[in-house]
Amino acid sequence: MSDAVSEDFTDPLGPGSMLHELTRQTRWGLVATRAIVLEAAHPQIGAALMTNSTFVAHPWRRLRNTVLSAQRMVDPDKQVRQREAARLNRLHARITGTDGEGRPFNAADSEARAWVVATLFESTVTMCRLSGESLDGPVLDRLYAEFQAFLALMDPYGGKLPPTLREFWRYYASVVEERLENTEAVHVILDRLFAQVPAPPMLRDQPAVWAAGRALAGPAATAIVVASLPESLRARLGLAELPGTRTLMHAAYLSTRLATRLLPEAWTRLDTVMTMLDPAYAPRRGGDAQAGLRALPGLDVLSGLHVLPGLRRGAAKAGALLRLLTPVPGTAASGDSAVRSASRFFSEVLDQTGDGHLDWPDLAAMAREIATRLDLDAQDEDRLFAAFADWWRELQKELDTDGDGRITGHEYAAATAAMAGSALIRIAEVLFDITDTDDDQTIDAREYQALFRTAFDHDPGGGDAGERLTRGEFVRRFLSFMAGRRHSGAYDQMFAQS
């Protein structure tokens, strides 16, 4: 890492930065895993994780999106970084609520966001120390300056890290001693996430292999994380350090460093490992073709307009609804593998946060996943969230029979027909509009892949790779899936798989 000091430092987050290199190394996973535990112990962050995050129900999807976002934040192109920071700010501003003690939380809170960056910096330093890597004064100062720049990009008008390293360590110690709590989120991560993490896409068809590996790796991962935490925090969280775990921890950190130094670089790149775990993982820079199209003058305005006149659009909606109500050939029989039970659909698709019921955070998680995949601008993102919010209000009116503000699996199963109301059709319409980036009123293979990160022939409900979906066909497939009428490999990959 010390070699990086010789690089040009005019751009603290550019290609010559330590962060640019670290976020592309597999060992960055040790940093991120340890940091998320420290973050979860912060009351605001812990509450946001428990009520709004999909990290328990969909950990691999959350990991993929986190990796992509971190890499965008240190992209060589400053415009990509600024766009990603703006996107994160919009998404975080929508995550608000109250915790179990009635205390309000907001994911955009400046103090909480500063703590997130602080945990990443301190965990990076810990990774280097435990792996035997020396960080001398200039290198450590530079690394800290990069994390300060990272926070300034993410929260330019809010909280800041202390100006010097000496002050940072005092700040870090005070937060650990005075601010962190024994939150539910910490124990969910340590007790459930590692022990129950579902198989990554590559091993989904090998449950026995995954279960055997997880039985060994899960407890080891928990022990390594716990042993690396500050001693005072471990005591407050009631986490005992088992004999031998420090040796295991040092071995894990040291082995990752040796692997980085001795193995071919391509083998230790985070993108390589992510692709091995999830063949659909495809790192896309924020400045890809779609973002480039949206940057053209006037295109943001044009993306809200439709070529078809209002009358024809109304007819298309009516036709899509009629086709939805007409049984799809080969899926009407109850024994057909394409039919998913109401309870399975509820748990696999609708309950995004995995807390056993449906409420607004679940639908917001769906909207966030789409916005992240398509790297939407503010205008399209607002339209998408507004459509999902309308659907949530419609679902509450139709399905929330006891008026408690959320929908149980029983309430959903008793009135599944209400799923395909006018608000859901509106979501399908908005989704078509934001996916159809060239505004030709069809979804071609390139646009389809941008949304689903797969090809047509990977979708059991699709046709061949050269197919172009019309508005009506796209709406019909979306409604058929969201009404729980049939499987779709593409939509399952987006909403149902972990």
pTM for the complete prediction? 0.77
* Strand segments (E) across 169-246: none
**Residues 158, 269 within the same domain:** yes
CA distance 480 to 114: 43
Last residue of a domain, which of 244, 277, 310? 277
Does one domain contain both 240 and 331?
Answer: no
CA distance 194 to 203: 16
Which tens digits make up the pLDDT trace of 205-241? 888 888 898 888 889 999 999 999 999 999 988 888 7
Mean pLDDT for the stretch of residues 414-421: 66
> Could you give the angle at the alpha carbon of 352 between the alpha carbons of 347 and 355, nearest 5°?
70
**In terms of domains, do 152 and 42 share one?**
yes
Is residue 282 included in any domain, yes or no? no
Residues 123 and 238 in one domain: yes
User: Is the pLDDT score of 351 beyond 50?
Assistant: yes
Q: Which residue has the higher pLDDT, 174 or 495?
A: 174
Q: How many CA atoms lie within 13 A of 267 on its CB side?
A: 9
Q: Is residue 15 part of a domain?
A: yes
Tell me how far apart the alpha carbons of residues 488 and 246 are, in angstroms, rounded to a whole number.
46
Q: Is residue 129, in this structure, part of any structural domain at all?
A: yes
pLDDT-based confidence at residue 312 (cuts at 50, 70, 90): very low
- Cβ–Cβ < 8 Å for 214, 206: no
139 pLDDT tier (thresholds 50, 70, 90): very high
Judged against a pLDDT cut of 60, whether residue 303 lies above it is answered with no
Dig out the tokens for 492 from the structure: 């399952």
Q: Say whether both 435 and 339 belong to one domain.
A: yes
User: Looking at the domain assignment, is residue 433 inside a domain?
Assistant: yes
User: With 90 as the cut, is the pLDDT of residue 153 above it?
Assistant: yes
- Is 283 domain-assigned? no
Mean pLDDT, residues 348-371: 89
Tokens at 343, concatenated: 């309870």
pLDDT tens-digit series, residues 35-65: 999 999 999 999 999 888 887 778 887 877 8
Confidence label for 111 from pLDDT (cuts 50, 70 and 90): very high
Could you tell me the pLDDT band of residue 491, with boundaries at 50, 70 and 90?
confident
pLDDT at 466: 54
92 and 172 part of one domain: yes
Q: Evaluate if residue 328 carries a pLDDT over 70.
A: no
* Tokens, residue 204: 């989904």
Q: Which tens digits make up the pLDDT trace of 113-130?
A: 999 999 999 999 999 999
Least confident of 79-88, 341-350, 484-493: 484-493
**360-381 residue pLDDT tens:** 999 999 999 889 888 899 999 9
From the number of C-beta atoms within 10 Å of its C-beta (0-12, 13-18, 19+), residue 298 rates as exposed
Name the range with the highest mean pLDDT among 172-181, 217-226, 295-304. 172-181
Residue 101 pLDDT more than 90?
A: no
Which residue type sits at 38?
Answer: L
Question: Does residue 284 sit within a domain?
Answer: no
pLDDT-based confidence at residue 330 (cuts at 50, 70, 90): very low
**End residue of a domain, out of 255, 277, 299:** 277
Residue 360 located in a structural domain: yes
Distance CA 356, CA 71 (A): 33
181 near 41, Cβ under 8 Å? Answer: yes
Residues 179 and 312 in one domain: no
370 lies in the same domain as 440? yes
Helices (H), 53-164: 59-73, 78-93, 110-130, 137-154
What is the residue range of 257's domain? 2-277
Q: According to the model, what pLDDT value does residue 440 have?
A: 93
Question: Which pLDDT value is given to residue 144?
Answer: 96
Question: Nearest to residue 372, comparing CAs of 496, 283, 436, 486?
Answer: 283
Provide φ and ψ at 55, rounded to 5°: -65, -25
* 250, 277, 304 - which closes a domain: 277
Give the pLDDT mean for 331-342: 46
Q: Would you say how long the chain is, in residues?
A: 498
Q: 486 with 459: CB under 8 angstroms?
A: no
Q: Provide the percentage of residues in the chain whose pLDDT is more than 90.
A: 35
End-to-end CA distance of the chain: 34
Least confident of 24-28, 275-279, 423-427: 275-279
If asked whether residues 84 and 175 sit together in one domain, one would say yes
347 and 249 in one domain?
no
DSSP secondary structure letters along 66-98: HHHHHHHHT-SSHHHHHHHHHHHHHHHHT-EEE
What local confidence, expressed as pLDDT, does residue 400 receive? 85
Count of domains for the chain: 2
- Give the CATH number for residue 450: 1.10.238.10
Give every CB contact of residue 231 below 8 A, 6+ residues apart in sequence: none
Q: What is the mean pLDDT of the chain?
A: 79
Is the domain of 44 the same as that of 123? Answer: yes
Cβ atoms of residues 320 and 476 within 8 Å:
yes
Residues 273, 137, single domain; the answer is yes
Q: Which segment of 5-19, 225-239, 306-320 scores lowest on mean pLDDT?
A: 306-320
